[in-house]
Amino acid sequence: MQKYDPKKVEKKWQQQWEEGRVFEVSEDPPQEKKFYALIEFPYPSGAGLHVGHPRPFTAMDVISRKRRMEGYNVLYPIGFDAFGLPTENYAIKTGRPPAEVTAENIATFTRQLKALGFSFDWSRAVDTTDPKYYRWTQWIFLQFFKHGLAYKKNQPINWCPSCKIGLANEEVVNGACERCGYAPVEKRNKEQWMLAITKYADKLLAGLKEVDYIPQARVQQENWIGRSEGAVVRFSVIPAPAGIQSGMIVEVFTTRPDTLFGATYMVLAPEHELVKRLKSRILNAAEVGAYLEQVNKKTEQERTAEGREKTGVELKGIKAINPVNNEAIPVWIADYVLASYGTGAIMAVPAHDQRDWEFASKYHLPIKQVVAAHFIEPVHPPQPGKKTKRRQTVHAIVRRKSDGKILMLQWKGAMWEGREPRTFIIGGTEAGEDPVVSAEREIKEETGYRNLRFVKDLGLEVHTEYHAAHKDENRYAEIRVLHFELNSDEQDTVSAAEMEKHTPVWIEPEEVGNFINVVDGPFIWNWFNHGGQAYTPDGISINSDFLTGLSTPEAKAKMIAWLEEQGIGKRQVNYKLRDWVFSRQRYWGEPIPLVYCENCAQRKPKILYIHGIYGYSEENWIPWFRKEMKKRGYEVLAPNLPNNVHPSLDKWLKTLADLPIGKDESLIVVGHSLGGPAACQFVLKHSAQIERLILISPTGDRQEAINWKNLRDAGCDEESIECIKKFNAANQSLDKVRNLAKETIIYLSEDDPFVPLSVTDNYSPLRAKVKIFKNKGHFNERAGILELPEILDEFPDVQSFNSGWIPLPEDKLPLELPKVAKYQPTDTGESPLAAMTEWVKTTCPRCGGPARRETDTMPNWAGSSWYFLRYCDPHNNKEFASMKKLEYWMGRNTVIPNEREESLSQSPNGQRSFPLAPARGQDDSTGGGVDWYNGGMEHTVLHLLYSRFWNQFLYDLGLVPTREPYKKRTSHGLILGPDGEKMSKSRGNVVNPDEMVEQYGADALRMYIMFMGPFDQPVAWDTNGVKGVKRFLEKVWAIQNNNKFDREGEDGWIFDDQLKLVHKLIRKITTDIDEMKFNTAIAKMMEFINEISSNSVISRGVWKIFLKLLSPFAPHIADELWNSEPFFENNGSLASEKWPIVDEKNLYEERMTIVIQVNGKVRARQQVGTNLDEEIIKRNALSDDRVQKWLEGKAPKKIIYVKGRLVSIVV
């Protein structure tokens, strides 16, 4: 017998797979069944692979190998995410070029990965640092830039004053620099490139609904995006600061507009711009100045280290007016209000916000309750149809000073049928009566105790509804809770009438919670014990004018409606998500392909206005528009176009082409009505940079896109109509227009007589933002539109356009990283590239003048944000990937009908905007993406969110076929070192896979990694476990080499038991792999081997099935045995064999074990026939001696039979 020598076997098969190109896949010709399995590509560190890396790789390899055998065309790609800090830091230390080091590391990783026998398609391997790859990373960045989603902004960076280097967030440990001797990190302001991911916040949130992610990943993304719904409310501030007219406004954001009546003060973030502007009016300017300085000095570290005790200072002399009741409230600044969230200012409602409560308590600010807790007694709920009596009541918590016990009432009466209430001392308050007085009266009347001291009002109103059985009426109790102390037991006599109703009892404090049996009791008791806090849950509004009596959701809605009506606030959604800082002042990253041109920065966009048929230019709102735009610094071109009555697109375009617009100028193009198509075609033909394309009631060429009847009724003759039709029909190639304009906006009116809302279908390739109005008609003089202030949002001050940053032409990409002499960042915090004067100095690709290059590079996240797309078409040098190949591997979205109609009908008051639905059958869709993506929990927030953002952006540009990149996402648990700690060089607990392969073989290593524990949970490494799996593989090897196999051909003998065994195994392995329960799958294989090895003769059919089931886990040994003498004459890898299918008839059991329980304890087991019926099984069970013994002659009360499992007898 040959010995099992994994080294020999594994090398042999790895070579065969490679030479036979077994795992290289093609989309040509497209096979129907495809499967795209994705793992997070590794960072090729200098340390090489450690034993944790292969866990996700092996898992997806098992799944991929199984799918392949199930007939899928499986893409299982691999690559390297090779830009990164460690390599850069190594370069700084040693001076070795990162590219060189990276190449070596990739070689090591490749060798190690290949030794583990993964079924990767190596021909598709990508490397993010390869210029052929990052050319497209840069290209995608340029698309962001061209669509206005990349912009420069002053942002603080982490700066280590000792290393003189900007730090990544992950290099900052507890506010100190990780690189050097932990010097404290400073913040430095620097202009940084930002990606406007916040513009996709709602889309990223919505997309989570259509994908199959592990719940944790979905929840973490949701939290990170942090959507909250509320309102912005405008408070005016008095006195107005000098030089500014009165009525100066501060906006606050709140999620609880229902508590506006409880806003007793206002807090501004210290950085709030108003603080500076108000300076001259602040009476305690010195104090405020000192506070600001103190806040400024505080580092992040100190802020968190202080235990977050809230500090603040009042702006004396300043008041804010609460717009709901015109009360003047104090204004404070405090650093618990963040400048970066909401509006940087809050209205403080201390009664219903814990932070405000703490602050108000500390600084003795008024606390006003405006929401009452609300309960409905579940045992005796109010009954419909019965009258409801409202009663003011008090609950008195009376604590005896001597022993701390609590005085309570045990009721006897019939207030509630079937249950005697146990409560605090309760009583009614008469109209106008002080609650303290009524409580004292009630205590005396009900219990006789009189030596009372009032301690405090708990400051909480509770509303409880119940049905009072003795009066058969519903009660609505408004309860105040008062705390008393009893100083001595002196007692007056209690009236007989009271004694009949209830008995006073003294209860130990620990028992109060159990004693009390009314619904609000535990809540009140808990509140009493916690002392002061804010009541934050929902409830019923009180002390709130027109909101009083409403539930919290009702009150919120009503308040928002009221605010909007009054024009002092509006509904608003806020996100925690911030824009993405995309600049790194580093060398080892993708260069940002932009140059700065002083000359171009001077050039400002012009506005081109294109009128419609009959030339409305000077007849409706255009004069107003011209004036407004001049104010903003624009030059407006509004030509009169020829043949207004019978227009032709060609002639119009010719006239437009003659306008004084330079080829390299930037434009905002506005087209109204027939001018809409003209504007689109102009944009397509002219080479100007289009900042914005604004279409107002544009005509379309579909039947339903114009209301011809109304047009005729309005006096349009047939010849004009023909012209319009031709004109519209010539409006082609809109999908190209989309990528020329940075932003496209369409204005429509619900009551437009000529252009209905359905015109959006026509313009769908533009993927424009659509704004829908009421009562604007056709936006012309007929509708009385002489001004259109809504449009002003699209025209910021001209100065804000064209910062001077000019993109490199796309055919000049990639912009390669130049070789530098030193990798150390410069003293000023700029990237080492900034030191290369000859590289930085360049010419402007737009005007040819002198310009300088951007020296920032992109963050590590860039390359990994789209690598899954490149895998689909890795060698394409014309596009980042072809649509055809993407559609094959990623699939495409399928339509959900009516989604657009829904968003339309939701439109509450006109001004809402929503993304335009592109051509039918392409959007409003779901279903595509990488079939299965597995990765680490540490990437479920950033990497996943960033790559979803990129994919959604590319989808909006029409460049990828699916909105969501990943259909399904799972996560693996970390593999820890043998000591249970995270593996790391510094801890010295790293296990090297090379050694494991050397000693036990790749198959044993793979199997152990899958066997260690549940895939999604962290597990500590235990080399002994590898031994155990190796033993299993040796056993498998030995069985094939030592046992007899039947010689009668496949299944010639009926090996019933063996067949049953193996078919059960097929079922188990098949489902377990799909559910990633690899550990139990392997356990079952071990059981199978333990059982089958006791047979003297083994069915070769059964054994072949087993080898197939084993092959995804241990592919080398499985292929070797499959091809081994003396039993099999197979040829080639199991990868091209078929996965076995369960045959139900082989699973049939003739006998089953029935467990018999007596009073819930197992007392006997019986083997019975499978098809016996229930009565017989029960009878058998009862007659069993062991059962009889436990019955002790008693008759069973109940017998339960669970099919195929057990009989449970109760006596």
What part of residues 1126-1165 is at the interface with RNA (CB under 7 A)?
A: 1153, 1155, 1157, 1159-1163, 1165
Of the pair 146, 1163, the CB lying nearest RNA is at 1163
Backbone angles phi, psi at 1198, to 5 degrees: -155, 140
Distance CA 464, CA 477 (A): 5
Least distance from RNA to the Cβ atom of residue 966, Å? 19
Residues 714-753 that bind RNA (CB under 7 A): none
Q: Which stretch binds RNA (CB under 7 A): 252-260, 662-670, 1058-1066, 1139-1147?
A: 252-260
Residues 911-940 that bind RNA (CB under 7 A): 937-938
Of the pair 231, 600, the CB lying nearest RNA is at 231
How big is the site for RNA, counted in residues (CB under 7 A)?
79
Least distance from RNA to the Cβ atom of residue 371, Å? 13
Of the pair 120, 235, the CB lying nearest RNA is at 235
The tokens for 163 are: 């290393």
Q: Which stretch binds RNA (CB under 7 A): 146-154, 449-457, 585-593, 1084-1092?
A: 1084-1092
CB of 852 within 8 A of CB of 600?
no
Choose, by CB under 7 A, the member of 131, 175, 226, 818 that binds RNA: 226
Q: Which stretch binds RNA (CB under 7 A): 155-163, 422-430, 616-624, 1007-1015?
A: 1007-1015
> Is 344 among the residues that bind RNA (CB under 7 A)?
yes
Choose, by CB under 7 A, the member of 45, 198, 228, 913 that binds RNA: 228
C-alpha 828: how far from chain center? 36
Of the pair 988, 1160, the CB lying nearest RNA is at 1160
How many separate helices (H) and strands (E) can be counted in the chain? 39, 50
Choose, by CB under 7 A, the member of 122, 341, 624, 839 that binds RNA: 341
On the 0-12 / 13-18 / 19+ scale of CB atoms within 10 A, 1151 is exposed
The tokens for 1155 are: 């467990």
| CA angle, 603 then 606 then 608, to 5° | 155
Residues 536-575 that bind RNA (CB under 7 A): 574
Distance CA 710, CA 690 (A): 34
Query: Which strand ranges, in their side-by-side order, compose the sheet holding 594-596?
Result: 805-807, 594-596, 850-853, 841-843
> Is 6 among the residues that bind RNA (CB under 7 A)?
no
Q: What binding mask, one character per residue, do residues 889-908 give for RNA by CB under 7 A, x or -?
A: --------------------
Residues 940-999 that bind RNA (CB under 7 A): 941
Query: Residue 193's beta-bridge partner residues?
Result: 152
CB of 748 within 8 A of CB of 770?
yes
> Is 270 among the residues that bind RNA (CB under 7 A)?
no
Interstrand relation of 1019-1020 and 975-976 (parallel, antiparallel or unpaired): parallel
Choose, by CB under 7 A, the member of 399, 1035, 1064, 1067 that binds RNA: 1035
Least distance from RNA to the Cβ atom of residue 1183, Å? 17
Residue 1176 makes CB contacts below 8 A (sequence gap 6+) with none
Distance CA 1043, CA 1100 (A): 11
Choose, by CB under 7 A, the member of 8, 576, 726, 968 that binds RNA: 576
Q: Looking up tokens 């064999």, which residue turns up?
A: 1137
Choose, by CB under 7 A, the member of 219, 414, 659, 1147 that binds RNA: 219
Q: Looking up tokens 């598709």, which residue turns up?
A: 124
Choose, by CB under 7 A, the member of 31, 94, 223, 1071 that binds RNA: 223
Residues 1166-1195 that bind RNA (CB under 7 A): 1186
Choose, by CB under 7 A, the member of 1087, 1123, 1188, 1191 that binds RNA: 1087
Residues 355-374 that bind RNA (CB under 7 A): 355
Of the pair 825, 1025, the CB lying nearest RNA is at 1025
Of the pair 843, 1017, the CB lying nearest RNA is at 1017
Q: Which helix (H) or strand (E) segment is 105 a member of?
A: helix 98-114
> Is 439 among the residues that bind RNA (CB under 7 A)?
no
Of the pair 382, 1196, the CB lying nearest RNA is at 1196
Distance CA 1082, CA 59 (A): 13
Please count the other Cβ atoms lying within 10 Å of the Cβ belonging to residue 821: 9
Least distance from RNA to the Cβ atom of residue 48, Å? 25
Q: Identify the CA nearest to 587 among candidates 833, 298, 941, 292.
A: 833
Of the pair 91, 1012, the CB lying nearest RNA is at 1012
Least distance from RNA to the Cβ atom of residue 1079, Å? 5
Q: Which helix (H) or strand (E) segment is 504 a member of?
A: strand 502-507
> Is 1198 among the residues that bind RNA (CB under 7 A)?
yes
Least distance from RNA to the Cβ atom of residue 266, Å? 11
In 424-481, alpha helices (H): 435-447
> Is 509 among the residues that bind RNA (CB under 7 A)?
no
Distance CA 1019, CA 1009 (A): 10
Choose, by CB under 7 A, the member of 1014, 1060, 1184, 1188 that binds RNA: 1014
| CA angle, 127 then 133 then 135, to 5° | 150
The tokens for 459 are: 């400051």
Please count the other Cβ atoms lying within 10 Å of the Cβ belonging to residue 448: 17
Of the pair 123, 1017, the CB lying nearest RNA is at 1017
> Is 253 among the residues that bind RNA (CB under 7 A)?
yes
Least distance from RNA to the Cβ atom of residue 312, Å? 10
Q: Which stretch binds RNA (CB under 7 A): 32-40, 313-321, 884-892, 1074-1082?
A: 1074-1082
> Is 1210 among the residues that bind RNA (CB under 7 A)?
yes
Choose, by CB under 7 A, the member of 337, 542, 638, 872 that binds RNA: 337
Distance CA 746, CA 816 (A): 39
Distance CA 906, CA 895 (A): 20
Q: Which stretch binds RNA (CB under 7 A): 338-346, 375-383, 597-605, 611-619?
A: 338-346
Burial 352-375 (b: 16+ CB within 10 A, else e): bbebbbbbbeebebebbbbbbbbb
Q: Identify the CA nearest to 147 among candidates 895, 856, 693, 836.
A: 693
Residue 157 makes CB contacts below 8 A (sequence gap 6+) with 166, 167, 187, 188, 189, 190, 192, 585, 829
Q: What binding mask, one character per residue, do residues 284-323 give for RNA by CB under 7 A, x or -?
A: -------------------xx-x-x-x-------------
Q: CA 408 → CA 415, 463, 466, distances in Å? A: 17, 20, 20
Of the pair 836, 1083, the CB lying nearest RNA is at 1083
Q: Which stretch binds RNA (CB under 7 A): 156-164, 217-225, 1055-1063, 1107-1115?
A: 217-225
The tokens for 1191 are: 């019955």
131-146 helix and 942-956 helix, angle to the nearest 10 degrees: 70
Of the pair 46, 553, the CB lying nearest RNA is at 553
Please count the other Cβ atoms lying within 10 Å of the Cβ belonging to residue 451: 12
Q: Which stretch binds RNA (CB under 7 A): 221-229, 472-480, 744-752, 818-826?
A: 221-229
Q: What binding mask, one character per residue, do residues 176-215 give for RNA by CB under 7 A, x or -?
A: ---------------------------------------x
CB of 928 within 8 A of CB of 964?
yes
Choose, by CB under 7 A, the member of 162, 1080, 1124, 1146 that binds RNA: 1080
Least distance from RNA to the Cβ atom of residue 369, Å? 16
Q: Which stretch binds RNA (CB under 7 A): 36-44, 251-259, 945-953, 1054-1062?
A: 251-259
Choose, by CB under 7 A, the member of 655, 758, 1043, 1079 that binds RNA: 1079
> Is 460 among the residues that bind RNA (CB under 7 A)?
no
